[in-house]
Chain A
Amino acid sequence: MTHGIATILTLLTVAGAALGAAPAQASDSNLGFLLAGSGLAWAGFFAYAFYISRKNRETRREIEELRDQLAERNGDKP
């Protein structure tokens, strides 16, 4: 879910910059900078959110595996 929302927001930011800013000033040569700046900002947040959520998933999976192992060893599980 995190990845999906972050991807949608990144795409919408770039699309919004292109659609919203372009008609306002068609000859604005700085539009590329605006697109680059907003795209980079979202890419940064996306990368960080992705990093955290992947790490969270891995850690939780490892916790479950270890709990199962310990339960088996202690005879709690058949």
Chain B
Amino acid sequence: MADRNQLFLGISGLLFLVNLYLIFFYAPTEQVMGNIQRLFYLHLPTVWVGFLAFFIVFVSSIAYLLKRDPVWDRRAYAAGEAGVVFLTVAIVTGAVWAKPVWGVWWIWDPKLTTTFILWVIYIGYMMVRAYAPSGERGARWAAVVGIVGFVDVPIVYYASELWRSLHPELVTGPFAETGGLEAAMRTTLYFSLFAFTLVFVYLFRERFAQQRDDDTLAELRRAAG
């Protein structure tokens, strides 16, 4: 598994070289915002991958509660942690983008607020596991948080449609307005989405393998006394 993950890392690295070329050389400069708009190709894919990660948490948590198989719990935990990292990067890149465009780092706009709530929910998810009295109870409680917390994902996605928002409207997904992006911009965005998804797969697999090793270590420690 370690070798295959190294291969994943190598492929992700190569794709990212292409991605960097697309972001900084191929994609045209946006006319209104200028170069800062290039952050879009980092910002949106990280949000998307964050949503994907939380969906994996949601599905794995349901599976864990039904089967009580620790493999599902490990999957949920690995995805949840990577999801928090991706969402944190999305929030940071969003703030850096907002400052020159909106004049402020942060506003309590519906999209930003619901995203912040999502981030807090999954920070809570990690904390529940860390502070639970036992591993099994922590896994069970975290599974409940992972299922309930996922409700916020569609709210974040539709926030700019549901309420008046400064945040731009949807550019990807079922309710997105098509034709909003120039062809070169769209190509760059989709490539970036693919590259970030591969990075997520790599991080997820590494974290999952590490948790399995943690369990092996705990067993060996018990055996060693």
Contacts and interface: CB of A to CB of B under 8 A. Distances in A.
Interface stretch (B12-20, B60-68, B115-123, B135-143): B12-20
Interface stretch (B69-77, B91-99, B153-161): B91-99
Contacts, number: 120
A21 B35 contact: yes
B223 A31 contact: no
A60 to B, nearest CB: 6
Given A44-B85, A56-B206, A19 B216 contact: no
Interface string A1-23: 11001001100110011011100
B97 A16 contact: no
B213 A41 contact: no
B221 interface: yes
Interface residues of B, number: 45
Contacts of B89: 40-41, 44-45
B93 A60 contact: no
Contacts of B10: 5
B39 A12 contact: no
B203 A49 contact: yes
B210 A56 contact: yes
Given A12-B20, A28-B34, A45-B89, A38 B25 contact: no
17 contacts: A5-B9, A16-B24, A16-B25, A20-B24, A28-B35, A28-B36, A33-B39, A33-B99, A36-B96, A37-B93, A40-B89, A45-B85, A45-B199, A56-B210, A59-B210, A66-B223, A67-B220
Interface of B: 6, 9-10, 13, 16-17, 20-21, 23-25, 29, 33-36, 38-39, 42-43, 46, 82, 85, 88-89, 92-93, 96-97, 99-100, 199, 203, 206-207, 209-210, 213-214, 216-217, 220-221, 223-224
